[in-house]
Amino acid sequence: MSYELPPLPYEYDALEPHISEQVLTWHHDTHHQGYVNGWNSAEETLAENRESGDFDGSAGAIRSVTHNGCGHVLHDLFWQNMSPEGGEEPSGALADRIEEDFGSYEAWKGEFEAAAGDASGWALLVYDSFSNQLRNVVVDKHDQGALWGSHPILALDVWEHSYYYDYGPARGDFVDAFFEVVDWEEPAARYEQAVEQFE
């Protein structure tokens, strides 16, 4: 199986002024493409090793699948979580569940912003199928700190390549800008899909 980089679901300049065309171009076309390439390369190595019976390089390739695969999945989710029509608060079943599990949207957002400020990679809102609740998760790199059995609902990339060109070291300003382009329709659909599967 070979993985491909999906196109952005909007034009490269569609999220301006919150995220620049230049950042989206670099981030999607070069950075995200690198994870797709890395995943495909690792899968090829594993297939070759299985065929030859020589597994000397397999452990590194397995780690590469995890790192690059998570990078690809989370970036794809990140692009889908945003749109030019974003900026509103969630509604419907997801909004109700956020209030139930966090006390209020404001409490959830404050905790999510704290996760985004501390992460060396990603802040995620996930549905934890083991505990049947929403959680905020700090994920370093792409796979360190992930919670088994959780399903990402909302993803925010806080690696420096996501914001330094536009905001310099002011990560908090970038997080604020993210909330100006979050389109809750996609996370809401992802949440409902997870709940239907596990509750």
Q: Tell me, what's the pLDDT at 173?
A: 98
DSSP secondary structure letter of residue 91: -
pLDDT at 141 over 90: no
Q: CA-CA distance, 110 to 123, in Å (whole number)?
A: 12
Span 17-44, mean pLDDT?
98
87: left (phi over 0), alpha (psi -120 to 50) or beta: left
Mean pLDDT of the chain: 95
* Percentage of the chain exceeding pLDDT 90: 93
Q: CA-CA distance, 199 to 191, in Å (whole number)?
A: 11
Note the pLDDT tens digit of each residue in 147-192: 888 999 999 999 999 999 999 999 999 999 999 999 999 999 999 9
Peptide bond into 7 cis (omega under 30): no
Binding residues for Mn(2+): 27, 75, 157, 161
Binding residues: 27, 75, 157, 161
Reduced to 3 states (helix: H, G, I; strand: E, B; else coil), residue 156 is strand
DSSP structure string for 5-73:
PPPPSS-TTTTTTTS-HHHHIIIIIIIIHHHHHHHHHHHHHHHHHHHHT--TTHHHHHHHHHHHHHHHH
Note the pLDDT tens digit of each residue in 50-68: 999 999 999 999 999 999 9
DSSP secondary structure letter of residue 89: P
In order of their start, the domains of the chain are 21-80 (1.10.287.990), 92-198 (3.55.40.20)
Note the pLDDT tens digit of each residue in 83-133: 999 999 999 999 999 999 999 999 999 999 999 999 999 999 999 999 999
Nearest Cα residue to 4 out of 23, 27, 32, 24: 32
Q: Tell me, what's the pLDDT at 199?
A: 67
